Amino acid sequence: MQAPSPPGRELCTVMHMVHTTLLPNGIKVVTEQIAHVHSVCIGIWVKTGSRFETREQQGICHFIEHMLFKGTPRHKAVEIARRIDSVGGIINAFTGKEYTCFYVKILKQHLSLAVELLTDIFLNSLFSPDDIEKERSVIMQEIHMIKDTPDDYIQDLFNESYFFDHPLGYPIQGEAATIQDMGRNSLVSFFTSEYLQSQRIIIAAAGDLTHEQLLQELSGSFAGLALAQDQPAVDSFAPQQRVLFHYRKLEQVHVCMGTVGLSQLDPQRYALYVLNALFGGSMSSRLFQEIREQQGLAYSVYSFASAYVDTGVFGIYMGVKKELAQQAIAIVLREIEKLKDEKISAEELSSSKEQLKGNLLLSIESTDNRMSRLAKSEIYYNSYIPIEDLVAEIDAVTSDAVQELARMMFNQKFVNYTFLGPLREKDLPKKFLFIP
């Protein structure tokens, strides 16, 4: 990764209409000018998320995300919403494991309004005690809603099992007990120490704007943030085999099985994108075609790859009737063995690559997706990665690379299972699940 420029010196680079400026206090501003669109999307990204919480702080980043929309000395919460709605814009935020983003998407002529509101909520939110109590109730309802939605809740349960006793396994929304115990001092202290740190902040924008326009709009807004140290090192993680049954009276058994994946920085990640696409990442994938189309065992079945700065996980989800669970899992295991033992055909490899490239190119027609690409590239690679480079990397993936990766990933000592629904441990033989 490229080292940041020394503090106090402004660096400006230009590539493919992407401009980057490193402000004297370490904040990075990156823009992509797209002249043919009507909108601009601007986001304030912070390199912090649920991974940087302690067990007692679970959900604090997500709680803070909510609080930044509750009002400032200049704008009440309802005024923020009305001013954005009155011009047809969108203001929102999301919290991840390793980053948090606050963003506005708006017509290009309202860029000043977007910057004004976004910087105000980020720098001047009140965290009033009354609003904290109201939002605590809202978040508690969100937690209950997720637990009432099995295909969402199974993801939290699986992450908790796979990343056992590690912050990557904490649910982003937190637990009811931790949310209930959070007070104003905890929220404000965490926000100050983890968010208001200049070298953790990236301001990204894409749309019909110039780099100079954004720098001018931002002029002086973040001057009060002094140069600060970057984040501490992340905790290491070593995967282990686990199987957990969460019994609940449901119509279906929700199954999440997974194994070791790759980090955001792993050079094999492009082979993983191809593997995921052909295995379970689309309607034409092997799992979808075999389990849903050919056998009619499930409505929803797919694979996914989650990647972080130093590790990752590859997972498979499906929802099936209890009496069909063993048959469906057997098909997944059979398809895994085929992936390891049989070379992928040139036709299937090409089709998977074209799907990936098509999805990538279609996604960049949206200014919010382009804005996200800019920020994530800076977070993980410290530089912009042109679309052409990504396409070239996908094209370079070989069938041997995909097969080699499958053999490395699908090792029984890494395989995890999480079950949610009317299934108990006695209902599936241990040998069947590759459990010694």
Calculate the CA 275 to chain-centre distance. 19
Residue type, 3: A
Cα 222 from chain centroid? Answer: 26
Amino acid at 359: N
Q: 3-class SS at 49?
A: coil
Question: Distance between CA 44 and CA 48 in Å, rounded?
Answer: 12
Q: How far apart are CA 206 and CA 383, in angstroms?
A: 16
Separation CA 167–CA 169 (nearest Å): 5
Exposure pattern of 52-62 as b/e (b: 16+ CB <10 Å)? bbeeebbbbbb
CA–CA gap between residue 202 and residue 194 (Å, rounded):
14
Tell me if residue 65 is catalytic: yes
Q: Which one from 32, 53, 65, 160 is the annotated catalytic residue?
A: 65
Could you tell me which residues come within 8 angstroms of residue 97 by beta carbon, excluding any fewer than 6 positions away?
Answer: 49, 50, 51, 168, 172, 308
Q: Which of 158, 195, 161 is nearest to 60 (CA)?
A: 195
CA distance 294 to 127: 54
Kindly report the CA angle at 342 between 311 and 240, in degrees rounded to 5? 30
Task: Count CA atoms within 13 Å of residue 123 on its CB side.
Answer: 16
Catalytic residues: 65
